[in-house]
Amino acid sequence: MTERYSRQELFAPIGVGGQAKLRRKHVLIVGAGALGTGNAEALVRAGIGKLTMVDRDYVEWSNLQRQNLYCEEDAVGRLPKAVAAEKRLQAINTDVKVEVHVADVGPAELKELVAGVDVIIDATDNFDIRMMINDISQKYRIPWIYGACVGSYGISYTIIPRDTPCLSCLLESVPLGGLTCDTAGIISPAVQTVVAHQVTEALKILVEDYQSLRNKLVSFDLWKNQHTSINVEKVKKESCLSCGTERTYPYLDYRNTTKTAVLCGRDTVQIRPPDKIERDLEQLEHLLQQQGDDLQRNPYLLSFTKGDHRLVIFKDGRVLVHGTKDIAEAKTLYHRYLG
Amino acid sequence: MQLIINGEKVELPENVGNVSELIQYFGLDQKVVMIELNQEILEKSKHSETILSNGDRVEMVHFVGGG
Ligand SMILES: [Zn+2]
């Protein structure tokens, strides 16, 4: 097994010393979609010590075109992404400790997840969670790497607390409607290029080669043959509520977190119960047996179809209401079938 | 007017005179956009008052959310 990392050790900036450091490091990836699976596969192959991964969704057919840890079997079985990812990652490299969570991430979950973490990788699809990651990164002084893509376009930035501006500095304020969901589709090379930027920056952080960090906001459009980067050092703001002198970490305030969310480009609303509950899926299956058109259960979730709508109920109490973008309609369905 | 945008020469119509209009021209006015003009980062509040001239070098990066 000594051969395993030989090519990486021959790469001078990592070397045998860097590899030994990698083996002791812990990475948190938030999201197990396209960016999450790409980052996870590369880092697990590279031989980090531990990977923690968290995701709230399950595998669907439309994921298979670009989410490289999943196969048809996972889509047929509607496996939670975190569960399917763990299975594949452990098959790739048993050296790495892989810990997964099927959960929606809020401030409280993040606080628990970041314990002992050396770098956080953003593989999410919305700015609500990114602003929380940004605050938690500042609070616990853990670097994080923003990444996002749509169409053939991608963007990435590495945030080092106390050193670089944070995401809040860059965005100033998140304008209403200014960062709406992108529905333009996506090609996998755009994903893989963002992944390449994120993984490379993560490796630099993990082997402690901070000098080599890019320090620039980078973007590209593979279809339009464009690539650019901007030095954003100067936008660091002393008055920033996330990283400035009077910081309050506004996005870690529970009052600012929503109980319902429309999932990006998915015609789906997620509803979180106000208090944590654990659903007995078997019992629920029994209750819903006569009420719908189709009912399917696996150890992690229950899928209930009625007309044009499908409710997916997770063990942690969350429900995805498919077939609507209307929060009120989703809530009505939730209360009709789940009390 | 001709500008160098993200490293490429781009010919712009008469009605594009300042940075806000440039962002609008590329259909990015609903996005958060970072602009570097002749290697200096430009604050958002200065977008509409900053007049562009022939040959200016502009780097333009907009934020997206998908992943
Ligand atoms: Zn900041």
pLDDT tens digits along A238-264? 999 999 999 999 999 876 666 788 887
Alpha carbon A327 to its chain centroid, in Å, reads 23
Q: What is the CATH number of the domain that holds A94?
A: 3.40.50.720
pLDDT at B33: 94
Name which of A170, A179, A194 is nearest B34 (Cβ-Cβ). A170
pLDDT at A258: 67
DSSP A125: S
pLDDT at A180: 56
Asked if residue A1 has pLDDT above 70, the reply is: no
| Chain B nearest C-alpha distance from A9 (Å) | 31
Whether A88 and A185 map to the same domain: the answer is yes
Q: Is B27 in CB contact (< 8 Å) with chain A?
A: no
d(CA A96, CA A206): 15
Q: Do A149 and B66 touch (CB under 8 A)?
A: yes
Name the token pair of A1. Answer: 């097994």
Asked if residue A32 has pLDDT above 90, the reply is: yes
d(CA A4, CA A145): 27
pLDDT at A265: 74
Average the pLDDT over B3-16 and give the result: 95
Longest dimension (CA), chain A: 64
The CA angle A285-A289-A290, to the nearest 5 degrees, is 160
Let me know if residue A142 belongs to a domain. yes
Name the catalytic one among A181, A240, A243, A264.
Answer: A181
| Count of structural domains within chain A | 2
Let me know if residue A118 belongs to a domain. yes
Domain holding B50, by residue range, is: 2-62
Query: Is A181 an annotated catalytic residue?
Result: yes
Let me know if residue B67 belongs to a domain. no
Q: What is the CATH number of the domain that holds B58?
A: 3.10.20.30
Q: What is the CATH number of the domain that holds A298?
A: 3.30.310
Whether A215 and A101 map to the same domain: the answer is yes
Asked if residue A33 has pLDDT above 80, the reply is: yes
Query: What's chain B's Rg over C-alpha atoms?
Result: 11
Q: Do A182 and B67 touch (CB under 8 A)?
A: no
Let me know if residue B47 belongs to a domain. yes
Average the pLDDT over A74-93 and give the result: 98
Asked if residue B32 has pLDDT above 60, the reply is: yes
Q: Does residue A141 come out as left (phi exceeding 0), alpha (psi in the -120 to 50 range) or beta?
A: left
pLDDT tens digits along B41-59? 999 899 999 999 999 999 9
pLDDT at A257: 65
Contacts of B9-17 with CB under 8 Å at 24 or more apart are B16/B52, B17/B51, B17/B52
Q: Do A228 and B59 touch (CB under 8 A)?
A: yes
The SS3 of residue A98 is strand
The SS3 of residue A97 is strand
| Count of structural domains within chain B | 1
Confidence of residue A177 (pLDDT cuts 50, 70, 90): very low
Whether residue A29 contacts residue A36, with contact meaning beta carbons closer than 8 Å, is answered with yes
Confidence of residue B17 (pLDDT cuts 50, 70, 90): very high
Q: Of all residues in chain A, what percent carry a pLDDT higher than 90?
A: 82
Give which of A179, A195, A198 to mutate to test B binding, by max B Cβ within 10 Å.
A179
Let me know if residue B41 belongs to a domain. yes
More confident residue, A312 or A338: A312
Name which of B32, B41, B65 is nearest A231 (Cβ-Cβ). B41
Domain holding A325, by residue range, is: 259-338
Q: Which chain A residues have a beta carbon less than 8 Å from that of B65?
A: 125-127, 130, 148, 150, 179, 181-182, 264
Asked if residue A309 has pLDDT above 70, the reply is: yes
Q: What interface predicted TM-score (ipTM) does this complex get?
A: 0.94
The SS3 of residue A37 is helix
* Short-list A332, A298, A334, CA closest to A315: A298
Let me know if residue A1 belongs to a domain. no
d(CA B19, CA B37): 9
Q: Do B64 and A153 touch (CB under 8 A)?
A: yes
Name the token pair of A194. Answer: 């963002």
* Short-list A9, A8, A6, A18, CA closest to A209: A18
Confidence of residue A176 (pLDDT cuts 50, 70, 90): very low
Whether A72 and A216 map to the same domain: the answer is yes
Q: Which of A27-36, A121-130, A264-273 has the highest mean pLDDT?
A: A27-36
pLDDT at A220: 97
d(CA A68, CA A37): 6
Asked if residue A274 has pLDDT above 80, the reply is: no
Query: What's chain A's Rg over C-alpha atoms?
Result: 20
pLDDT at A38: 98
Report chain A's mean pLDDT, rounded to a whole number: 93
Whether A273 and A307 map to the same domain: the answer is yes
